[in-house]
Amino acid sequence: MSVTAPQGFEAAGVAAGLKSTGKPDVAVVVNRGPLKVGAAVFTSNRAKANPIIWSQQAVADGAVEAVVLNSGGANCFTGTFGFQTTHQTAERAAELLDVSAGDVLICSTGLIGTGDEVFRQKVLDGTAAAIAGLSAAGGEDASLAIMTTDSRPKRAVRSQDGWTIGGMAKGAGMLAPGLATMLVVITTDAVLTAAEADAHLRDATRVSFDRLDSDGCMSTNDQVTLMASGASGVTPDRDAFRAALAAVCVDLAEQLQGDAEGASHDIRIVVQNAASEEDAVEVGRSVARNNLFKAAIFGNDPNWGRVLAAIGTTQAAFDPYDVDVWMNGVRVCSAGGPDAPREEVDLTPRATELVIDLKIGDATAVILTNDLTHDYVHENSAYAS
């Protein structure tokens, strides 16, 4: 169901020929109201794709009626022509939906530099076809149409107190903070103001998608959109809604992690007893981006020295000789020295937990990452071919 689980939404996914495989590649999600509330967060990459530039302007007034998404081409670094493609896509969708183009967000994903006239025509035709096929049961099709190297669609739903949140995501590589290479659409039939939608979305992404750092590479196209239809007629309890929205985002983020290109381990890095949440995040990220650590995990090698070496590159408050490191429940390093023998650590399961105890404060953060594998190198060396 994903984005059509909440009341007031229709969606569709169609094959427009953007993917050489002939699989679905254009999705549309429409908010039928009565509210037209929308909020979005975007990649912090300064090299932004054309759909990002468009959508940032379009969402500024807090009103969103539809999102058009395509895979099979990022429409990034395609110049003025590429921006016009995005603009025309919004205009076409607006005309067919009888809404304002300024309330239509656009998302694209695929190879950077793809965005010629053939691409434009296929996107425009696909948008029209998807709108013609909109239905209240179209969430599943939409989630399939945004897949790139994903091996499976990502969907999540939470219902509570008469309102529902639904979401879909795509992303399998270039997963990094400031969002990952991800497109996410989240819908809800709860009654929200635009300010509430924006604040809740920022809080939820901060502890979910922004804590996923699969390969340290930041995309040019990331976008997470929340639309609220208000169709349930229920104004949710603030804390309950925030918790449910965060749960949907964490669920989708974990699905992204579990399907990361070439990965053989899902590594959950728990940094505890840090001086601040910022410190905990910085430490977790430094480990998540350390190729030597990530290659060691691929090789089922509990190489805690590489963890401490990574921590040492941060500005976080810590004493190298007062750090404990646990891998899958075994304390391999205590007080900055060797503890349990490496042989006691079983790193064969895909689910891997690394706990870093800085013993200097009471803040905690969890960062999700993956190992560095032969398959990661292979998939990303062959991507463009």
- Which residues are CB-neighbours of 339 under 8 A, at least 6 positions away? 324, 331, 332, 333
Exactly one of 4, 45, 149, 225 binds its own copies (CB under 8 A); that residue is 45
- Which residues are CB-neighbours of 343 under 8 A, at least 6 positions away? none
Smallest gap from residue 163 Cβ to its own copies (A): 37
Query: Tokens in use for 222?
Result: 């990331």
**Pairwise CA distance, residues 23 & 13, whole Å:** 10
Catalytic residue among 181, 187, 352, 373: 181
Exactly one of 134, 308, 358, 368 binds its own copies (CB under 8 A); that residue is 308
- Which residues are CB-neighbours of 38 under 8 A, at least 6 positions away? 31, 59, 62, 63, 64, 65, 103, 105, 194, 197, 225, 226, 227, 228
Q: Interacting stretch for its own copies, rule CB under 8 A, among 3-11, 201-209, 244-252, 299-307?
A: 299-307
Site membership for its own copies, residue 312 (CB under 8 A): yes
Smallest gap from residue 247 Cβ to its own copies (A): 29
Exactly one of 337, 341, 348, 350 binds its own copies (CB under 8 A); that residue is 337
Residue from 144, 180, 382, 169 nearest 262 by CA? 382
Site membership for its own copies, residue 372 (CB under 8 A): yes
Site membership for its own copies, residue 301 (CB under 8 A): yes
Distance from CA of residue 45 to its chain's centroid? 14
Phi, psi (degrees; rounded to nearest 5) at 253: -60, -40
For 91-211, list the strands marked E by DSSP. 104-108, 154-160, 163-170, 183-188
Exactly one of 27, 40, 74, 260 binds its own copies (CB under 8 A); that residue is 74
Q: Residues binding its own copies: what is the number (CB under 8 A)?
A: 62
Residue 261 marked as a ligand binder? yes
Site membership for its own copies, residue 218 (CB under 8 A): yes
Q: How many CA atoms lie within 13 A of 207 on its CB side?
A: 14
Q: Which is nearer to its own copies, 45 or 70 (CB)?
A: 45
- Which residues are CB-neighbours of 243 under 8 A, at least 6 positions away? none
Exactly one of 57, 121, 313, 348 binds its own copies (CB under 8 A); that residue is 313
Exactly one of 68, 289, 356, 358 binds its own copies (CB under 8 A); that residue is 289
181 part of the active site = yes
Taking each helix axis from N to C end, the angle separating 50-58 and 79-97, rounded to the nearest 10 degrees, works out to: 50
* Continuous H helices in 259-303: 277-288, 291-298
Residue 80 marked as a ligand binder? no
Site membership for its own copies, residue 238 (CB under 8 A): no
Q: Which is nearer to its own copies, 335 or 351 (CB)?
A: 335
Q: Name residue 270's beta-bridge partners.
A: 355, 366
Q: Interacting stretch for its own copies, rule CB under 8 A, among 20-28, 171-179, 248-256, 272-280?
A: 171-179
What does the binding site for its own copies look like in residue numbers (CB under 8 A)? 45-48, 74, 76-79, 111-113, 173-174, 178, 215-220, 289-292, 295-296, 298-299, 301, 303-306, 308-314, 318, 320-321, 333, 335-338, 342, 372-374, 376-378, 380-385
Known binding-site residues for substrate equal 148, 170, 181, 261, 380, 385
Positions marked catalytic: 181
